[in-house]
């Protein structure tokens, strides 16, 4: 038992060391010729974050240390590529959303203006391209395809569903905007470790599913977040469609006075605190919340199923634990 525990602690220490190295490398790669550009490029990185994508790179690279040992330099490079791509997209998102805050601090566009924020996002995309080139042409191709999906997802979100089913349109947007880069994170980790093609496919499928689940969990938390400390109703107030509201609209009963009132609120300006509180209260009591949680649980189990044939060990256990985490955080 002691030996097993010692191995587990040693493995966790290795993962933490790699994540620390990635964190330092992120700040270093964001340095520019101009002090102002350096400050702006490091702004979002220095504010912190979940670093979920680098974590997936590291875990996937550690999946089978007996037959596939990943060079640490390549693990760091792969993690830099996916996190720089993610951070760069945040600069552009904040401009499009006219966001004033990012991770508790002034957004880059609020501090330096939209033009600088867009260009700094471009600068970070360029840095990601520089790093991915060091990994090889196959990684460049995968990164380009991922970036194309991310952009198409943003465009689809901007133009709306049109004649398409709003819920299916939204799920496609989530898959392209969020899940695509998370899937690439897991795939990059497997590739730098030299994992066999079957393992690579399984991890990419896992990443696609767990990436979607994380966004859907955030949808629920936006409405039910009193216990998490997050300000509830942010997406609701901004009129952003999310899983619970789309499920509500799909199943709303026009003959119900309660449903009619909630529909009216969702179609109105929710800048008034009292109206927002009423909308939150009605949504929390509606079956759409449990329906959304059931969808999170279903997709979480599907993500877990992709791990079934992967090598047993602490890395697979950690990936499986993420499936539990997404369910717990939305409960």
The enclosing H or E element of 6 equals helix 2-29
Handedness of CA 129, 179, 105, 328 (dihedral sign): negative
CATH pick for 1-195 out of 1.10.10.1100, 1.10.600.10, 3.40.50.300, 1.10.3210.10: 1.10.600.10
pLDDT, tens digit, for every residue of 266-322? 999 999 999 999 999 999 999 999 999 999 999 999 999 999 999 999 999 999 999
Same fold, 1-195 and 197-330: yes
pLDDT, tens digit, for every residue of 5-63? 545 568 899 899 999 999 999 999 999 999 999 999 999 899 888 899 999 999 999 98
CATH architecture of 197-330: Orthogonal Bundle (1.10)
Report which of 92, 102, 109 is spatially closest to residue 177, judged by C-alpha positions. 92
pLDDT, tens digit, for every residue of 206-242? 999 999 999 999 999 989 987 544 567 888 988 889 9
Residue ranges covered by each domain of the chain: 1-195, 197-330
Q: Is the distance from CB of 47 to CB of 99 less than 8 angstroms?
A: no
Q: Which two tokens stand for residue 223?
A: 């409405």
How many angstroms separate the CA atoms of 250 and 169, rounded?
13
CA distances 165 to 175, 260, 278, 290, 295, Å, are 15, 21, 27, 21, 17
- Give the residue carrying structure tokens 């390549």: 74
Per DSSP, the residues of 76-121 read HHHHHHHHHHHHHHHHHHHHHHT-SEETTEE-HHHHH-HHHHHHHH
* Average pLDDT of span 169-183: 97
Q: Is the distance from CB of 180 to CB of 150 less than 8 angstroms?
A: yes
Stated pTM of the model = 0.92
Residue 113: band (very low, low, confident or very high) from pLDDT cuts 50, 70, 90: confident
- Phi and psi torsions of 195, nearest 5°: -65, 155
CA distances 89 to 150, 219, 232, 243, Å, are 9, 19, 24, 22
pLDDT, tens digit, for every residue of 67-110? 556 889 999 999 999 999 999 998 888 787 776 767 667 788 88
């Amino acid at each position: 038992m002691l030996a097993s525990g010692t191995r587990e602690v040693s493995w966790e220490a290795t993962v933490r060391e790699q994540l620390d190295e990635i964190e330092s490398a992120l700040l270093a790669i964001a340095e520019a010729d101009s002090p102002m550009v350096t400050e702006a490029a490091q702004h979002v990185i220095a504010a912190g974050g979940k670093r979920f994508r680098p974590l997936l790179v590291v875990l996937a690279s550690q999946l089978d240390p007996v037959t596939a040992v990943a060079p640490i330099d390549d693990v760091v490079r792969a993690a830099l590529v996916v996190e720089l791509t993610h951070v760069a997209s945040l600069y552009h998102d904040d401009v499009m959303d006219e966001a004033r805050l990012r991770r508790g601090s002034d957004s880059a566009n609020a501090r330096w203006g939209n033009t600088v924020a867009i260009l700094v996002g471009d600068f970070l995309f360029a840095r990601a391209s520089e790093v991915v080139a060091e990994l090889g042409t196959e990684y460049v191709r995968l990164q380009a395809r991922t970036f194309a999906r991310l952009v198409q997802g943003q465009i689809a979100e901007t133009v709306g569903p049109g004649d398409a089913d709003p819920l299916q349109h939204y799920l496609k947007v989530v898959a392209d905007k969020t899940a695509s880069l998370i899937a690439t994170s897991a795939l990059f980790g497997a590739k730098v470790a030299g994992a066999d093609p079957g393992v690579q496919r399984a991890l990419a499928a896992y990443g696609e599913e767990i990436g979607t689940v994380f966004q859907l969990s955030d949808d629920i938390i936006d409405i039910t977040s009193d216990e998490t400390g997050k300000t509830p109703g942010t997406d609701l107030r901004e009129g952003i469609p999310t899983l619970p509201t789309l499920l509500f609209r799909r199943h709303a009963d026009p003959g119900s006075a309660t449903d009619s009132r909630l529909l009216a609120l969702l179609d109105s300006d929710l800048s008034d605190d009292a109206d927002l509180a009423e909308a939150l209260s009605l949504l929390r009591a509606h079956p759409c919340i449990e329906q959304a949680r059931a969808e999170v649980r279903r997709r979480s189990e599907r993500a877990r199923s992709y791990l079934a044939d992967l090598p047993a060990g602490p890395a697979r256990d950690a990936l499986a634990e993420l499936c539990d985490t997404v369910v717990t955080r939305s409960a």
